[in-house]
Chains A and B, each alone.
Chain A
Amino acid sequence: MTKPGSHAEREGSQAELIRRSLKRRYRKERRFRLYGITAISIALFSLVILFTDIISKGYTGFIKTTVTLEVHLDDDLMYLNDASDPEQIAMADFQAPIIKALQGYFPQATSRADMRELSRMTGSYASNQVRDMLKANPDWLGTTRTIEFPAHDTVSVYVKHSGDPGYSIRLSEQQQRWTDELLSKGVIDTGFNDVFFTSGDSREPSNAGILGALVGSLLTMGITLVIAFPVGVAAAIYLEEFAPSNRLTDFIEVNINNLAAVPSIIFGLLGLAVFIGLFGMPRSVPVVGGLVLALMTLPTIIISSRAAIKSVPPSIREAAEGIGASKMQVVLHHVLPLAMPGMLTGSIIGMAQALGETAPLLLIGMVAFIVEIPDGFFSSATVLPVQIFIWAGSAEQGFVELASAGIMVLLAFLITMNAFAIWLRKRLERRW
């Protein structure tokens, strides 16, 4: 009589227990999910802040300020009567016609101080621009030409950033008045900064461009890829497939894993001592930079390639061996094609790391001020992150926005590389 009752009672209390524990479990689950969402939100938020900051600071780097003037290339004014004579060119005053053209708008600015201020409306290389034009076209002497000059850094800052507390306006009140007037007349104008994408570094922010560093980065990455990828993949294949497992290979494995964690500046020191010191290679060239970055990237490539090889199902290996494929055939026909997506992904991640690397390149002299766009693996060059580093440390205010714009170019480069990696992996991936 009591038995069924107690049984039902037990069942009831157990159901109650389960219900209570269920509640607890769901609460835990909700809390756990909340942690995850919080973490992701924080990450996303930081990313948004970072991007907003960089873009809001840097987008002006893609805008140039120009001064377009009708310049009368007066021979008397320049003390020049034959523009094809290099001696005369060297002695001539090319600033004078620019000032003269500006005085056309401000006739009362005639004192020495005024003229000095007028000469600081256009960039410091404006006179060189006139000289180069005349050198190229000696018959322009005596004619009037419309020339677009980059505005002086201070004018550019005033045009783009007046009212921005992050910038201080270094123009005199008179210059500010002139700038406002020229702006309203359309003489001073803003436009897309093509100079930034077509020239190398310069002392003058309005003449400085990222192309030199971009080409330097491409050349350096080329060397890195050509050396690190084959060596890394070959090492991974040997270690994973052919090496006997003994003390020596264990030792090598431990060292490779450790190398991946060595600070990159150590690789720079190594490059300095070995490639430049011992082998006598030149400084600040893409070859040495590429070699150093290849050394730095090798452990990453080896580790990811080994992981990719390990993830090839043993059944595929057995299938090939069972038919009578030799070790080499198993590796070349089956393991490599299946591991290739993983290897490529790892390599591109390693390359992306190398692309953003600054420290080791500083040590091998790729931090030099280089105006020319490098034309080969042995010409002096700098790379994107180093260029950003140089600009960020420069005194002129115009370089601040260039540094931010440079970061955007670097980020775009990185995103392109990663997108390429994803595309490649999707293309090569095969299911089994």
Chain B
Amino acid sequence: MSISMSPAETTIEEGKTVGIPFSDDPKFHLRNVGVFYGESPAIKNISLDIARNEVIAFIGPSGCGKSTFLRCLNRMNDSIESCRIKGSLLLDGQDIYDPKRDVVELRARVGMVFQKPNPFPKSIYDNVAYGPRIHGLANRKSDLDDIVENSLRKAGLWNEVKDRLDAMATGMSGGQQQRLCIARAIAVSPEVVLMDEPCSALDPIATARIEELIAELSESYTIVIVTHSMQQAARVSNRTAYFHLGHLVEVNDTSKVFTMPEHELTESYITGRFG
């Protein structure tokens, strides 16, 4: 019954977010975003800026819409037919959902790492080289070799796999597979990397490895990470956004969210009263 520490806000109001959701130099400029599956809304009127080269973590209980929102950022929801998206989503000032916009180009700029490691059933080399190949990023074999080596180095995997680049990627451990997926995503030099619970299928050691990697990558990429682990959000992110039932309740500096949340729901969640 600590009344003195109780946050100021207690109710959710549609479209209202406490904290600091906006930025002066946004990479993503997202206003009044709503996502519907058929008639039922999954995301209700969310506005948020994602700053250049920041790591922002999306947290919230299951089914709160954080993954759905993440997948809007590179239009991965396109293949779900009943899915409709409203509002304005801009990447560097350009509309992501412009019908004339090329999805392929968008996804080359906004890469994605998924919950479960999903390497292609091909060799390690071919996994990393796939993106550069389809986008025509390397004209010569040596260029491609360089891209593969660089990406694997950045993903902290090079030393483990340099002698067996021709081995099947599916034969690696789960943690290695996930780092390979990260290497595959950064091989096309994206500006943003979206990560949808990248560690949920991994053991603590592999998780720690990925978290280190995120810290290193944050120097050159904008990273949006969805996570169920609050410790992870606290460790890797600059800002944390708390989602609740399709609302964006609070966005604040990570240290603030985990020490002095402004909204009661955020506090309830991080203290483990639900979720």
Chain A bound to chain B: yes
Interface residues of A (CB under 8 A from B): 244-245, 313, 315-326, 329, 333-334, 338, 430-432
Q: Is B131 within 8 A of A324, CB to CB?
A: yes
Q: Is B118 within 8 A of A430, CB to CB?
A: no
A-B contact pairs, 23 of them (CB 8 A): A316-B120, A317-B79, A318-B76, A318-B112, A319-B114, A319-B118, A319-B120, A319-B184, A320-B120, A321-B76, A322-B74, A322-B185, A323-B108, A323-B111, A323-B130, A323-B131, A323-B134, A324-B103, A324-B108, A325-B130, A333-B130, A338-B121, A431-B121
Taking A329-B134, A430-B121 as contacts, is the C-beta distance between A323 and B184 under 8 angstroms? yes
Q: How far is the CB of A313 from chain B (nearest CB, A)?
A: 8
Interface string of B71-99 (1 = CB under 8 A from A): 00010100101000000000000000000
- Say yes or no for B135: interface residue by CB 8 A criterion: yes
Q: Is A323 within 8 A of B185, CB to CB?
A: yes
Counting contact residues on chain B (CB < 8 A from A), the size range is: 20 to 34
Q: Is B105 within 8 A of A324, CB to CB?
A: yes
Q: How far is the CB of A237 from chain B (nearest CB, A)?
A: 15
Q: Please give, as numbers and ranges, the residues of chain B lying within 8 Å of A326 by CB-CB distance.
A: 104, 134
Partner among A316, A322, A430 whose Cβ is within 8 Å of the Cβ of B107: A322
Interface of A is mostly: helix
A150 to B118, CA, bound (A): 68
Q: Please give, as numbers and ranges, the residues of chain B lying within 8 Å of A245 by CB-CB distance.
A: 81
- Say yes or no for B156: interface residue by CB 8 A criterion: no
Q: Please give, as numbers and ranges, the residues of chain A lying within 8 Å of B112 by CB-CB distance.
A: 318, 322
Q: Please give, as numbers and ranges, the residues of chain A lying within 8 Å of B107 by CB-CB distance.
A: 321-324
Interface residues of B (CB under 8 A from A): 74, 76, 79, 81, 103-108, 111-114, 116, 118-121, 130-131, 134-135, 170, 181, 184-185, 188
Q: How far is the CB of B79 from chain A (nearest CB, A)?
A: 7
Q: Please give, as numbers and ranges, the residues of chain B lying within 8 Å of A323 by CB-CB distance.
A: 107-108, 111, 130-131, 134, 184-185, 188
A326 to B135, CA, bound (A): 10
Partner among A318, A322, A325 whose Cβ is within 8 Å of the Cβ of B111: A322
A313 to B131, CA, bound (A): 19
Q: Is A316 within 8 A of B118, CB to CB?
A: yes
Residue of B nearest to A322 (CB): B112
A320 to B170, CA, bound (A): 15
Q: Is B118 within 8 A of A324, CB to CB?
A: no
Q: Is A324 within 8 A of B114, CB to CB?
A: no
Q: Please give, as numbers and ranges, the residues of chain A lying within 8 Å of B74 by CB-CB distance.
A: 322
A97 to B143, CA, bound (A): 86
Q: How far is the CB of B168 from chain A (nearest CB, A)?
A: 8
Q: Is A334 within 8 A of B188, CB to CB?
A: no
Given contacts A323-B131, A326-B104, A430-B121, 11 further A-B contacts (CB under 8 A): A245-B81, A313-B118, A315-B114, A315-B116, A322-B107, A323-B108, A323-B184, A324-B104, A324-B134, A334-B120, A432-B120
Q: How far is the CB of B107 from chain A (nearest CB, A)?
A: 4
Partner among A244, A322, A334 whose Cβ is within 8 Å of the Cβ of B114: A322
Residue of B nearest to A317 (CB): B79
Residue of A nearest to B127 (CB): A319
A329 to B116, CA, bound (A): 22
A323 to B112, CA, bound (A): 7
Q: Is A432 within 8 A of B76, CB to CB?
A: no
Q: Is B79 within 8 A of A321, CB to CB?
A: yes
Q: Please give, as numbers and ranges, the residues of chain B lying within 8 Å of A431 by CB-CB distance.
A: 121, 170
A244 to B107, CA, bound (A): 23
A112 to B183, CA, bound (A): 97
